[in-house]
């Protein structure tokens, strides 16, 4: 039997980048193929060609045993190819149901073509249920968390009866239970004969769900792993072409206790709870919890984006008054936010502009922004973080997802923070680059910075943190010291079982 999909010798060039160079990939019916590779390896580009977003410069696409041309997104849909994009593709103002059926709304009233809202709602509900998503179809998308919005995207693909579903980092904004549910859905789809191309930087997920693994490196095929040979180590060496030594680095042990203190913080979202914690200078305090536990809201309150109702913040024994992000930055407190598309990055601006924006002060003498200084800072950061870009003047929207995330981090790392809050710092970042980012966080800590790291990746929280705070529904349910670290201990606290 011929495979459902065959991509043959695909080549794609963007200005200054050969994104894909003679890449081939095949997928059988009901097969789950994982596509792996470092940031910028060409995974999303290959999928966008399949999804009709980009056109290949050379190569062929065979679907169901015959050559096809996919000129636009609608063309892919007609063939039965569903696409869940790496960056969310939903419209905030519309309801959940309207998003699921966007462009395919069932109508009634004959030539009047009135949209059958009830049917949309009923049908959407069925897909939402299948994904275990407990929200009303009438809810406007903007009221949902990032995780829930991602699930809506998946419901949309399911409703299209796709024969092949492309998932480009579907779990990067989901956590534990949502991720488990999604992986179960992938297995379910495959059992029902639907093929899945699964892109993820979370190798554990791939070990769990993939029938076969295909690796890309620098826009070329770098090898495959068949069922039974898929392992973490093998995937890493296919992707980066070498073994990875220590992913996590321990601190140098010197800490200034209670350097940064938060006491009785009440946020607008959960006014009934008070949050108190402290971070030593030189310490990385991890914040674990389920999606919606209130970690990002807490971060926003500390950073002054969403002023807290009450609470004291002290830095180095000095009380601080923070009414705005400006006050926080003045005091040396920074937040690297989780949602890079909304708050972290201005995609129309260049890599240089994005990196130096927050720190203009450091680059300007009097009123003049020293352009050469700016370029130098940006170049340095691009180099340290290995951002894959043709140059510092490239617009960030042309970078791969993981490289955009690195630019966001570069922006904050180029300043001189006293306290820095990283909200999901390595979302969508490849293993090699993760190691670099953990290294940089550790360097900052070793220079005496107090670091708060909010993370939904269990492995990361356990590996990187010196101490862990766990949140549940807006309050801290417990702290864990290194000796107490375990997945189970975190889970218990995350679902609200307080420490004895």
Does residue 148 touch ligand ATP according to CB under 6 A?
Answer: no
Of 337 and 401, which CB lies nearer to ligand ATP in the complex structure? 401
Does residue 17 touch ligand ATP according to CB under 6 A?
Answer: yes
Does residue 44 touch Mg ion according to CB under 5 A?
Answer: yes
Does residue 173 touch ligand ATP according to CB under 6 A?
Answer: no
Within the chain, what is the greatest distance between any pair of CA atoms? 75
Select from ligand ATP, Mg ion, none the partner in contact with residue 419, using the beta carbon and a kind-dependent cut-off of 5 to 8 Å: none
Of 329 and 351, which CB lies nearer to ligand ATP in the complex structure? 351
Smallest distance from Mg ion to CB 294, Å: 29
Among 4, 23, 43, 344, binds ligand ATP (CB under 6 A): 43
Among 179, 300, 400, 456, binds ligand ATP (CB under 6 A): 400
Does residue 425 touch ligand ATP according to CB under 6 A?
Answer: no
Select from Mg ion, ligand ATP, none the partner in contact with residue 125, using the beta carbon and a kind-dependent cut-off of 5 to 8 Å: none
Does residue 170 touch Mg ion according to CB under 5 A?
Answer: no
Smallest distance from ligand ATP to CB 41, Å: 4
What CA–CA distances, in Å, run from 366 to 157, 327, 361, 409?
Answer: 54, 21, 9, 27
Does residue 39 touch ligand ATP according to CB under 6 A?
Answer: yes
Size of the site for Mg ion (CB under 5 A): 4
Does residue 274 touch ligand ATP according to CB under 6 A?
Answer: no
Half-sphere exposure of 467 (CA within 13 A, CB side): 18
Smallest distance from ligand ATP to CB 42, Å: 4
Of 213, 220, 170, whose CA–CA distance to 45 is shortest?
A: 220
Of 216 and 299, which CB lies nearer to ligand ATP in the complex structure? 216
Compose the 65-104 pattern: x for residues touching Mg ion by CB under 5 A, - for all others.
---------------------x------------------
Among 4, 32, 34, 42, binds ligand ATP (CB under 6 A): 42
Does residue 403 touch ligand ATP according to CB under 6 A?
Answer: yes
Does residue 344 touch ligand ATP according to CB under 6 A?
Answer: no
Name the closest residue to Mg ion (Cβ): 44
Does residue 37 touch ligand ATP according to CB under 6 A?
Answer: yes
List the beta bridge partners of residue 287.
454, 469
What CA–CA distances, in Å, run from 439 to 38, 334, 391, 462, 463?
Answer: 18, 18, 24, 15, 12
Does residue 40 touch ligand ATP according to CB under 6 A?
Answer: yes
What CA–CA distances, in Å, run from 245 to 235, 242, 393, 402, 432?
Answer: 14, 9, 33, 21, 10
Of 215 and 284, which CB lies nearer to ligand ATP in the complex structure? 215
Among 14, 91, 361, 393, binds ligand ATP (CB under 6 A): 14
Of 105 and 339, which CB lies nearer to ligand ATP in the complex structure? 339
Among 52, 401, 417, 425, binds Mg ion (CB under 5 A): 401
How far is Cα 7 from Cα 26, in angstroms, rounded to an integer?
6
Of 149 and 396, which CB lies nearer to ligand ATP in the complex structure? 396
Q: What is the 3-state secondary structure (H, E, C) of the chain?
A: CCCCEEEEEEEEEECCEEEEEEEEEEECCCCEEEEECCCCCCHHHHHHHHCCCCCCCEEEEEECCEEECCCCHHHHHHHCEEEECCCCCCCCCCEHHHHHCCCCCCEECHHHCEECHHHHHHHHHHHHHHCCCCCCCCCEHHHCCHHHHHHHHHHHHHHCCCCEEEEECCCCCCCHHHHHHHHHHHHHHHHCCCEEEEECCCHHHHHHHCCEEEEEECCEEEEEEECCCCCHHHHHHHHHCCCCCCCCCCCCCCCEEEEEEEEEEECCCCCCCCEEEEEEECCEEEEEECCCCCHHHHHHHHCCCCCCCEEEEEECCEEECCCCHHHHHHHCEEEECCCHHHHHCCCCCEHHHHHHHCCHHHHEECCEECHHHHHHHHHHHHHHCCCCCCCCCCEHHHCCHHHHHHHHHHHHHCCCCCEEEEECCCCCCCHHHHHHHHHHHHHHHHCCCEEEEECCCHHHHHHHCCEEEEEECCEEEEEEEHHHCCHHHHHHHHCCCCCC
Select from Mg ion, ligand ATP, none the partner in contact with residue 200, using the beta carbon and a kind-dependent cut-off of 5 to 8 Å: none
Does residue 170 touch ligand ATP according to CB under 6 A?
Answer: no
Select from Mg ion, ligand ATP, none the partner in contact with residue 399, using the beta carbon and a kind-dependent cut-off of 5 to 8 Å: ligand ATP
Segment lying near ligand ATP (by CB under 6 A), choices 36-44, 118-126, 310-318, 464-472: 36-44
186-215: contacts with Mg ion (CB under 5 A)? none
Does residue 401 touch ligand ATP according to CB under 6 A?
Answer: yes
Does residue 405 touch Mg ion according to CB under 5 A?
Answer: no
Select from Mg ion, ligand ATP, none the partner in contact with residue 41, using the beta carbon and a kind-dependent cut-off of 5 to 8 Å: ligand ATP
Of 41 and 301, which CB lies nearer to ligand ATP in the complex structure? 41
Size of the site for ligand ATP (CB under 6 A): 20
367-396: contacts with ligand ATP (CB under 6 A)? 388
How far is Cα 272 from Cα 259, in angstroms, rounded to an integer?
27
Q: Residues interacting with Mg ion, by CB under 5 A?
A: 44, 86, 400-401
Q: Footprint of ligand ATP on this chain (CB under 6 A)?
A: 14, 17, 19, 37, 39-45, 86, 388, 398-403, 430
């Amino acid at each position: 039997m011929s495979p459902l999909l065959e991509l043959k010798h695909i080549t794609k060039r963007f200005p200054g980048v050969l994104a894909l160079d003679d890449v081939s990939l095949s997928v059988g019916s009901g097969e789950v193929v994982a596509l792996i590779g470092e940031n910028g390896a060409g995974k999303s580009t290959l999928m966008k060609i399949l999804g009709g977003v980009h056109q290949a410069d050379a190569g062929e696409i065979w679907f169901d045993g015959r050559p096809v041309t996919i000129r636009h997104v609608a063309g892919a849909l007609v063939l039965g190819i569903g696409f869940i994009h790496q960056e969310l593709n939903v419209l905030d103002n519309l309801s959940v149901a309207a998003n699921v059926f966007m462009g395919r709304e069932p109508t009634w009233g004959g030539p009047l073509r009135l949209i059958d809202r009830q049917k949309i709602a009923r049908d959407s509900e069925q897909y939402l249920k299948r994904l275990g998503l407990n929200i009303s179809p009438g809810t406007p998308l903007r009221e949902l968390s990032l995780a829930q919005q991602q699930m809506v995207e998946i419901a949309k693909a399911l409703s299209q009866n796709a024969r092949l579903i492309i998932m480009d980092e579907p779990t990067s904004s989901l956590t534990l239970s949502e991720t488990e549910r999604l992986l179960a859905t992938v297995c379910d789809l495959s059992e029902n004969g639907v093929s899945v191309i699964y892109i993820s930087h979370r190798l554990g997920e791939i070990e769990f769900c993939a029938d076969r693994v295909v690796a890309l490196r620098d826009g070329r095929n770098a090898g495959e792993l068949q069922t039974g040979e898929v392992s973490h180590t093998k995937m890493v060496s296919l992707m980066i072409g070498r073994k990875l030594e220590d992913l996590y680095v321990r601190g140098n042990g010197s800490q200034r206790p209670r350097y940064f203190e938060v006491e009785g913080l009440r946020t607008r979202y959960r006014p009934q709870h008070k949050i108190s914690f402290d971070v030593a200078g030189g310490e990385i305090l991890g914040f674990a919890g389920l999606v919606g536990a209130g970690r990002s809201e807490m971060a926003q309150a500390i950073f002054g984006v969403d002023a807290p109702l009450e609470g004291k913040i002290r830095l180095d024994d000095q009380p601080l008054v923070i009414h705005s992000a400006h006050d926080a930055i003045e005091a040396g407190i920074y937040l690297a936010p989780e949602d890079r598309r909304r708050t972290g990055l201005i995609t129309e601006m260049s890599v240089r502009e994005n990196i130096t924006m927050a720190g203009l002060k450091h680059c300007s003498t009097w009123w003049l922004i020293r352009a050469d200084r700016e370029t130098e800072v940006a170049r340095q950061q691009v180099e340290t973080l290995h951002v894959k870009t043709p140059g510092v003047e490239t617009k960030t929207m042309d970078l791969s997802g993981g490289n955009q995330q690195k630019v966001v981090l570069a922006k904050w790392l180029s300043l001189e923070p006293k306290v820095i809050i990283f909200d999901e710092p390595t979302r969508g970042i490849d293993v090699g680059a993760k190691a670099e980012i953990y290294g940089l966080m550790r360097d900052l800590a070793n220079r005496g910075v107090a670091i708060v790291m909010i993370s939904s990746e269990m492995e990361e929280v356990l590996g990187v943190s010196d101490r862990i705070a766990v949140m549940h529904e807006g309050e801290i349910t417990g702290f864990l010291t290194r000796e107490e670290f375990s997945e189970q201990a975190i889970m218990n606290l995350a679902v609200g079982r307080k420490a004895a």
